[in-house]
Amino acid sequence: YKNKKASEAHKKAEEKKAAIAAAASIDGKSITYRATGGADGRLYAAVTAADISAKIKETFGIDVDKRKLVLNDNIKNVGEYNVTVKLYPEISAKIKVLVQN
C-alpha cells in the first residue's frame, strides 16, 4: 500500500514538472494558422481546438489534448485570438492564435 501511494505521488510530481516546463515553453508565444476563406475575412471551415492542438504539436513539439484548450467558440473569422491551455490543475499558459487567409 505504501509503495503504491509513493508511486502515485511520484507520478503526479513528474506530470506537474512536465506541465510547468511545457507552460514555460509556450506561454506568451503565438502560432499562425492558415485557413481558406472568403474576401470578407470569413473562413470556409471553422478552426477547432483539434486544429490548434495539432499546430501546437507541429510548432513546439508539445502534445496538448484538444480538451485542454479553452476556446469560447470555434474560430470562424480571420484575426488574432487568445487561447488558454490548461496543462495541469492550477497550471495554464496563454497562447495567441493568428488566423490568416
Cα(first)–Cα(last) distance of the chain, in Å? 57
Q: Given a cut of 90, is residue 39 above it in pLDDT?
A: no
SS3 state of residue 65? coil
Q: What is the pTM of this model?
A: 0.84
Model confidence at 58: pLDDT above 90: yes
d(CA 41, CA 21): 36
Q: What is the pLDDT of residue 53?
A: 94
Cβ pair 64, 49 in contact under 8 A:
no
Distance between CA atoms of residues 32 and 18, nearest Å: 25
Average pLDDT over residues 65-93: 92
- Quote the CA–CA distance of 57 and 65 in Å, as a whole number: 10
Q: Residue 96: is its pLDDT beyond 90?
A: yes
Mean pLDDT in residue range 76-97: 93
Calculate the average pLDDT of the chain. Answer: 92
